[in-house]
Structure 1
Amino acid sequence: MKVAKYSFLAVLFCVLFILTSCGLGGKGKNSNEYNRVQAAEIEEPTEDVTIEFWTYSDGWRAPISHFESIHPKIKINHVKIDFDSIAGEYQKALAAGEGPDILFFDSAYYSQFTTGEYLEDLLKEPYYAGRYEKDFPKDMWESNKSIDGKRLLAMTFLTSPVVTYYRSDVMQENGFPSEPEEFGKFIEESENLLGISKKLKSKGQYIFQMPTDIISLSGSYSGIFDEKLKFVRDSDLFVKALDMAREIKRLDLAIGVNIVEEAGKEAVRNEELVMVLGIGSWGTNTIKNYAPEQAGKWRVTVPPLGLKAWYSDTKLAINAQSNNKKWAWLFVEYVATQQEGGENIDMISGYYPARRNLKVMLRENEFYGNQLIQPLIEDLAEEMVQYKQTPIDERALEIFNKEIDMAIGSKVDSHKAIKDISNKIESTLKKEREALLKGK
């Protein structure tokens, strides 16, 4: 099974759209059009200061320009690094006592940096970020803390719930509900989801990319470990997901390609893949870019089975070894509290006061039949849970994906299979879990 590979590729595809879809590349506004909020009274530098800022995106021209206009002595040196290289570059730099003043993280690799003393605690002086705690969802705020919950290591910029993209015309032609709200309610039932898949397969069309689609969605919904580092996927949700995966494989209901691969793009263009589930709201432009000629035929709705799940986020942190920490904080604060005033389209601001921008909420998307998409995404963000990531997530997923792949092809009772996988992960990672809980 290739769940791990595809999850990574999906996240990689995600980050290519995060900043281009959120309006950061637009024109900046005059500083008097903004109400600047400052968490701590940090005096401006008397001499020029340069802040090194590493990201994987080049969409920062406007916010940096505006920030520098209100902090004329502070210059932001933006360094772009390829997404697939940036985590490694961070690790090398931090281990050498070097690196940028500000680090831009994606949840795809943030878990590697949640231990140790590499990231500054934003709760302490002079940042006092704790005064913003009520301005962020509680789960999001806690997800950015250290394993022991005592330090705030980062602040979320943008976050993305899971959504479902589907061909409304295909659903209507085959006698299924086609409008977003009706269709969303219809696919809450697994029987309906499988019913759609069976009927469309007879016409050479598919709604599943892989047999593991529902398992991956369930993973986005539940996370991996709880606050005590207990593996959380030993539940009825995953028993049901495994049963569905077996049925999808038995009936050959998955097309066998992934949306981020060229074969997946072709499947969309050829009208073979007519639904995409389990990816983040960042993907709204994806289908449009793949098949612009299908304008008006696609819609966006909630995830199947009622699983209001979190997909990914981006966040900023300060290098604990920086010599410019307090000046770096001014930029972190500026970005996290959305002071640039950008319109976040298809993504959700972590900062509550910047959510539900009226202009964005009323924007119709022509490709999706003039659907108002942002209200749906905002509502989903209110219901999803953003869970804490840990340094052992990647290893746990490697074991989980391998064992799930074998379980799908076996005849072992689903309850027993899920229980066995959970036990294997907890026993294999016992020492690592204990060390993390002890703060080692």
Structure 2
Amino acid sequence: MVKLTKIFVLLLLLIVSTAGCFRSEPLIPASSPPAEKPAPSGDKRAVSNYLSIWTHYGGIETMAAKFKESYPDLSIDIKVIPYSEYTGAYLQALADGKPPDVMMVDSADFGNFSAIEGLEDLLQPPYQAGKYRNDFSPSIWESAMSADGNELIAFPLSTTPTVTYYREDIMRQYGFPSEPEELAKYMEDPANWLHMAKELREHNIYLTQWVNETVQLFERSEGIFDRKLNFMRYNEAFHKAVEIAKKVNDFGLEAHLDVWGDMGRKAVQDGTIAMMYFGTWGVEQIKEWAPETAGKWRETRLPFGLYGWQNSTNFLLPSDGANKEMGWKFIEFAVTEYSKEGLSGAVPAYLPARGNAKELAATNQFLGGQKTYALHEDLMTRVREFPTTPLDVKAQEIWESEIASGIEKRLATKQIIADARDKIEQSLAKEKQILLNTMKKK
């Protein structure tokens, strides 16, 4: 692939710095984020026994310490960058030609790196990562490829489903299914979910925070664009998604509360919000918000028969890294060896690392002794990861705005989605053509 030039890298840097595209919370919060942005590798770049790793995830130190057992003379420098800053910091380092040896990237942000210069194709010598192709699901392998689908520029460490967290005691009190799979089966029919939402609303209890939240659940199973940058959401699934959201709006079934704010957290504590949809990190977040509700929550799959992908964690190997050889050894170790020990509830992307008996038997007392990791592994056999593109962030902003506006105006479902599609195509036409032209020059 002929990748986009350094000028485009700088353009991406400008976009991610100004577009307000970051989530308010990281998917895996950093344990001790630095007060300032990390400096480039600098005076240690030529030292072969020095390895620099940049990440926005906490908890990498244990992995690094385990790797260091095989290389006792190796000095490993880990920089933890706040989630809201890390994409910009990475792009700047790549543009300057002074990146670290290893970068860790969340799948939600991977599109920013999928069509730029500066990353190694891991299918090529000396890495030869293609030998591992059959050790990953086809969908997660595909999600780690470059924008044109020709180069493997990421090596996935873990992947996680989106799940439903719900108050088991409230479901049982009001006569609804309360066991995880029983409830999931009941919620497969949108009519049942809507009935439950209406009944509970009469008691000031809600299953969704806002109108668009149900649409977001469908977004977890399909990207915005395919490899040729065709819009992917004008289909039956998203017609169904918008229809459900319109009913939520018509019947006033949303709580109008954001759980990331003070009033929303209080609603989690007192049971006003009885159902939430998060990645598998959600249990720790709920525990932080409402420790007094221990034992009352459970976890199950998504409503409407959906199997949603929350995110994956990926390693990148910068071409200008000073120690690419050791960087690849670390990545290979983390993915194919360390992951077999368990990844704190995340599901290893490397298939031979799944089925860890200790992990599968583990119970979560906050969730009433439920074996949640076993559920996560089971769900990931049905979840399908999907590619992301450099246009996704801006397209998603337009999509959300148009869907919300169309529902508020009570437009026909097909018109709402068509308007969103047309606005995205019109707004991103220039960027889309640049990408398509670049991908043809191979």
Is the 1:214–1:241 contact (alpha carbons within 8 Å) kept by the matching residues of 2? Answer: yes
Q: Percent sequence identity over matched residues?
A: 35
| Distance in structure 1 (CA, Å) of the matches to 2:30 and 2:252 | 32
| Structure 2 partner of 1:74 | 74
CA 1:205 to 1:13, structure 2 compared with 1: closer, same or farther past 3 Å?
farther
Report whether the alignment pairs 1:322 with 2:321: yes
Deviation at 1:71, TM superposition (A): 1.9
> CA RMSD, aligned part only?
2.0
Question: For structure 2, which runs of at least 5 residues remain unmatched after alignment?
Answer: 1-18, 33-46
Deviations 1:88-113 (A, max 9, x none): 11111111111211111112322111
| Distance in structure 2 (CA, Å) of the matches to 1:288 and 1:201 | 24
1:150-169 equivalent positions in 2, closer than 5 A = 150-169=150-169
Deviations 1:224-255 (A, max 9, x none): 11122111110122222212212212222111
| Structure 2 partner of 1:400 | 399
| Structure 2 partner of 1:357 | 356
Is the 2:53–2:100 contact (alpha carbons within 8 Å) kept by the matching residues of 1? Answer: yes
TM-score between both structures, scaled by the size of structure 2: 0.88
Is the 1:17–1:283 contact (alpha carbons within 8 Å) kept by the matching residues of 2? Answer: no
Deviation at 1:411, TM superposition (A): 2.7
Is the 1:99–1:319 contact (alpha carbons within 8 Å) kept by the matching residues of 2? Answer: yes
| Structure 1 partner of 2:63 | 63
Runs of 4+ displaced beyond 6 Å? none
Q: Which amino acid aligns with 1:294?
A: T
3-state SS of 1:364 partner:
coil
Q: 1:14 aligns with which of 27, 40, 48?
A: 27
Deviation at 1:316, TM superposition (A): 0.6
| Structure 2 partner of 1:241 | 241
Deviation at 1:63, TM superposition (A): 1.6
Deviation at 1:347, TM superposition (A): 1.3
CA 1:224 to 1:340, structure 2 compared with 1: closer, same or farther past 3 Å?
closer
Deviations 1:240-272 (A, max 9, x none): 221221221222211112233333221111111
1:277-426 equivalent positions in 2, closer than 5 A = 277=277, 279-339=278-338, 341-426=340-425
| Distance in structure 2 (CA, Å) of the matches to 1:7 and 1:323 | 31
Is the 1:14–1:283 contact (alpha carbons within 8 Å) kept by the matching residues of 2? Answer: no
| Distance in structure 1 (CA, Å) of the matches to 2:398 and 2:420 | 8
Deviations 1:339-379 (A, max 9, x none): 36432233111111111211111112111111111121111
3-state SS of 2:312 partner:
strand
| Distance in structure 2 (CA, Å) of the matches to 1:6 and 1:392 | 14
3-state SS of 1:14 partner:
coil
Is the 1:302–1:308 contact (alpha carbons within 8 Å) kept by the matching residues of 2? Answer: yes
Q: Which amino acid aligns with 1:421?
A: A
Deviation at 1:6, TM superposition (A): 11
Q: Which amino acid aligns with 2:415?
A: K
Is the 1:361–1:374 contact (alpha carbons within 8 Å) kept by the matching residues of 2? Answer: yes
Task: State how many pairs are aligned.
Answer: 407
| Distance in structure 1 (CA, Å) of the matches to 2:403 and 2:107 | 23
1:23-34 equivalent positions in 2, closer than 5 A = none
Is the 2:31–2:59 contact (alpha carbons within 8 Å) kept by the matching residues of 1? Answer: no
Deviation at 1:141, TM superposition (A): 0.6
3-state SS of 1:103 partner:
strand
| Distance in structure 2 (CA, Å) of the matches to 1:130 and 1:264 | 46
CA 1:58 to 1:240, structure 2 compared with 1: closer, same or farther past 3 Å?
closer
Q: Which amino acid aligns with 2:62?
A: A
| Structure 2 partner of 1:148 | 148
| Structure 2 partner of 1:192 | 192
| Distance in structure 2 (CA, Å) of the matches to 1:93 and 1:17 | 20
Q: Which amino acid aligns with 1:16?
A: P
| Structure 2 partner of 1:42 | none
| Structure 2 partner of 1:40 | none
